[in-house]
Amino acid sequence: MIKAVIFDLDNTLVDFMKMKMASCDAAITAMIGAGLNIERKKALDILFEIYSKYTLEEKTIFQKFLKKVEGKVNYRILASGIVAYRKVRSGFLDPYPGTDYVLLKLKNKGIKLAILTDAPKLKAWIRLASMNLSNFFDVVVTLEDSKKPKPHPKPFKIILKKLNLEPQECLMVGDMPERDIKGAKKAGMKTCFAKYGNNAGKAKANYTIKDIRDLLNIIK
């Protein structure tokens, strides 16, 4: 019997890549408007190459980008990009349709709800607060809690301990087969692949859903 549902955050509850792409596009456009001499598509390609080298959570991404493109950081251009990025980002932090409905239904069934994310603690809580989802979750475990990203066993052990449940009593829902599904399987949890957050991915999970609302068909 499933007593807890553990969610990944980005591309499972929030369409993170949609937000990231729109925010970065706005930032590049603003930096070009402030005097950066580069073609927009080329700039975006370079920016995401840098992201792939570090992570999508890299705090100094635009400084690194400007150093690569111009050899230095022009703070007038940098500020224009950061302001544009933040304005667009705040408008895109919305949950997938039906998320709050699903979480409420699960809560009413007595199911414990948890977040297991590789995002930094503050950013994870900001995303949850921006979507008005903070109060749904009994446990939130971030990269700062475990110091190890998924699929390392440590974050899964931590969340099981905090939930005070056995692995087989928990369902892990995530969009990353190599992180969420693989790690949860090794921990002994049931797994659910959130295909709506990763249309190109394939996972050998117990369940696959194309809409978050399909979770209610699994946990009846």
Residue 78 and residue 13: Cα distance in Å, rounded? 30
pLDDT of residue 214: 97
Domain boundaries along the sequence of the chain: 4-15+95-218, 17-92
Residue 80 and residue 171: Cα distance in Å, rounded? 43
The model's confidence at residue 165, banded by pLDDT at 50, 70 and 90, is very high
Q: What is the DSSP letter of 54?
A: S
pTM of the model: 0.85
Q: Which amino acid is at 183?
A: G
What 3-state DSSP class applies to 40?
A: helix
Strands 170-174 and 190-194: parallel
Tens-place pLDDT, residues 125-162:
999 998 999 999 999 999 999 999 999 999 999 999 99
Contact 212, 102 (CB under 8 A): yes
Residue 118 and residue 89: Cα distance in Å, rounded? 19
Residue 203 and residue 119: Cα distance in Å, rounded? 22
Neighbours of 42 (CB within 10 A): 11
Looking at CATH, the fold of the domain delimited by 4-15+95-218 is given as Rossmann fold (3.40.50)
CATH architecture of 17-92: Orthogonal Bundle (1.10)
Say which range, 2-11, 80-89, 199-208, has the weakest mean pLDDT: 199-208
Residue in this structure with the two tokens 């007593």, named with its chain if needed: 3
Six-digit token pair at 58? 């890299």
What 3-state DSSP class applies to 110?
A: coil
Q: Which stretches of the chain are assigned E, i.e. beta strand?
A: 4-7, 112-116, 139-141, 170-174, 190-194, 207-209
